[in-house]
Amino acid sequence: MTLERAPRLILESMAECCCPEPDETSQSIACRACGTAGIPVESLTVKALLTESALARYEHGAYRFCPGGGCAVVYFTENGATFRTEDVRERVWQKEPAGHRTLCYCFGENEAAIAEEIQRTGDSRTVSRVRAHIAAKRCACEVRNPRGACCLGDLNAAVKRLRSISVPRS
């Protein structure tokens, strides 16, 4: 799947998500380390995911999440405050190499398990499992997901990508 299609897949899933997507209509602010446009993220998300030592450096501000894959910055503000991958409690899937990344931080859905399920059964029920959790109001994406938003669009994109490269076992 091309990167151009990923935002459309995320938008297709937004109606089913457990929490609103961040307001990306505000002024675009780029990460100083890599130049990638930052995604607004709530302070609650940032504070919940910082390590103890990083939390001690936290200052109130309008934080952004940097989705740049080759960049170690996870959160930043326009004023220059930054938190890097070593400052957060979770491994950030956008910062990790493909293969074993966790995509759903609430229920532990990851690429390796999705790929194995597709190899074993020819398909993945990951998205339907997470949708069932969302319907039961069990998710906490705004606190657990470093992006601070629902993972359903990311899961849809990953399942489609992994389906396209999977060769079912005989």
Please tell me the distance from the alpha carbon of residue 158 to that of residue 140, in angstroms, as a whole number: 20
Helices (H), 15-170: 43-49, 52-55, 111-121, 126-135, 141-144, 152-165
- For 118-153, what is each residue's pLDDT tens digit? 999 999 999 999 999 999 999 999 999 999 999 999
What is the predicted pLDDT for the residue at 2?
A: 39
Show the tokens assigned to 76: 């930043």
Backbone CA torsion sign across 6, 123, 18, 47: negative
* Per-residue pLDDT, 166: 73
Quickly name the fold that domain 5-17+26-165 has.
N-terminal domain of TfIIb (2.20.25)
pLDDT along the chain (170 residues), means of 10: 40 49 66 97 97 97 96 96 97 93 96 96 96 95 95 95 76
